[in-house]
Amino acid sequence: MTMYFMLFISLCIIRFCESHIVQATQPINQTCLNFGSDYDCQFYSCFEERFPCGSKYWMLKWGHKYCTRTQKSLLNFDKNGQKLLQQISNCLTNKLLKQRYYTLNKVNCEQLRLAGQRILHECYMLNSKLFCNAFQGKNRDCFFQLIDDDDRRDLTVIRTLTSVGQKCTPKKKLADMRPSGKINQCVLTPTL
């Protein structure tokens, strides 16, 4: 009886761990590391290939999704907005590379999620000056458009935006970061 119970518990623990800890499935790939140093969004998909945590985890749900989306909508933002987004993207990839997550032999997907959230927070705080300059006018609309509704309600996103807003003079509250008017100013100026 006790033995079966122990076996049952062990299996549960193993299963639990399996769903969170992922062994590297691909060798360390220099092309992928170069994507990182080139700030190419393929770094995130490469990372996911080595450590397939799945679409609910940080690397795809945040890293890859917003890297590619930011690249696509970059020109909607004005110069300050573009600079901010580029700095944040570069900061993210730099930190992920420097902290050597890609070269680990296994990762805990939950911890990787926390690391991603922490790094994003750090990158916003490091670029608070740019953030305060950029987060106005049409950039507000563009930023709102960039982030999915569900993601905007994410507590870590709210915490990060609130903290960085505190660094601005005057301080920016979440309400100051929502779209500025009734008309969406975030539209591509047609190039003739």
Distance CA 155, CA 111 (A): 17
Contacts of 132 (CB under 8 A, 6+ apart): 167, 168, 169, 172
E-state strands within the chain: 21-23, 106-108
Residue of the chain from 22, 46, 123, 161 that contacts ligand NAG (CB under 6 A): 46
CB atoms within 10 A of CB 65: 16
Interaction between residue 29 and ligand NAG (CB under 6 A): yes
Stretch that binds ligand NAG, among 28-36, 58-66, 127-135, 157-165 (CB under 6 A): 28-36
| Cβ-based nearer residue to ligand NAG, 22 or 32 | 32
| Cβ-based nearer residue to ligand NAG, 33 or 125 | 33
| Cβ-based nearer residue to ligand NAG, 32 or 120 | 32
Contacts of 48 (CB under 8 A, 6+ apart): 59, 60, 64
Interaction between residue 67 and ligand NAG (CB under 6 A): no
Interaction between residue 41 and ligand NAG (CB under 6 A): no
Residue of the chain from 19, 31, 90, 111 that contacts ligand NAG (CB under 6 A): 31
108: which 2 tokens? 């805990």
| Cβ-based nearer residue to ligand NAG, 34 or 55 | 34
Distance CA 129, CA 21 (A): 37
Shortest distance (Å) from residue 63 CB to ligand NAG: 15
Helix/strand/coil for 22: strand
Interaction between residue 161 and ligand NAG (CB under 6 A): no
Contacts of 30 (CB under 8 A, 6+ apart): none
| Cβ-based nearer residue to ligand NAG, 35 or 131 | 35
Shortest distance (Å) from residue 42 CB to ligand NAG: 6
- Which residue(s) pair with 22 in the sheet? 107
Contacts to ligand NAG by CB under 6 A: 29, 31-32, 46
